[in-house]
Amino acid sequence: MIARNRRARRDYDVQSTVEAGIELRGSEVKSLREGKLNLADAYAVIEGSQVILRNLHIPTYKMATHDRLDPDRPRRLLLHRQEIRKLTARTVQKGMTLIPLAVYFKGKLVKVELGLAVGRKKYDKREAIAKADAQRRMKQALKKDFQ
């Protein structure tokens, strides 16, 4: 696991997830191997027949000599045509958006877990936080009872 977008699960109600490859340059992969990545404001858009990941910040690799890339450049996601069609149909619906939930290595490849999500209102966020807090308390109470 390179990075996980924790804010995504709080700010959005994730309906489904999709695993996608990402098109990177060599120095970007080296920077990811060092664990440098910022997913905070990243999102994906469908442009024509391609899925583009925007605002994913991968800092430049310090040891790179000639391949100085823009850290915030748009990156193409690698998906099958059928998957792109399904995502297009679902994102056309009101309020649906594609957000990266996690970036990780699968073997030598870099993968992105995309979530098809609906934005939450402020009161929904409070409810989700309260539920998670209640579950955490219940687990702690059960753990104390069995010790």
Residue 56 or 66, more confident: 56
Query: Does position 146 have pLDDT exceeding 80, yes or no?
Result: no
In this predicted structure, the answer to whether residue 66 has a pLDDT above a threshold of 80 is no
Tens-digit pLDDT profile for residues 16-34: 999 999 999 888 999 999 9
How distant is the alpha carbon of residue 28 from its chain centre? 17
Q: Over the stretch 97-127, which tens digit does the pLDDT of each residue have?
A: 999 999 999 999 999 999 999 988 887 778 8
Domains and CATH numbers, the chain: 3-120 (2.40.280.10)
Q: Per the structure block, which two tokens stand in for 66?
A: 């000639």
Helix residue spans in 54-121 (DSSP H): 81-91
Classify 11 as helix, strand or coil: helix
Helix ranges (H only) for 34-112 are 81-91
For residue 94, pLDDT over 80 is answered with: no
Q: Is the pTM of this model over 0.75?
A: yes
Residue 110, strand partner residues? 105
Rounded to 5 degrees, what angle do the CA atoms 143, 146, 147 make? 85
Contacts of 129 (CB under 8 A, 6+ apart): 10
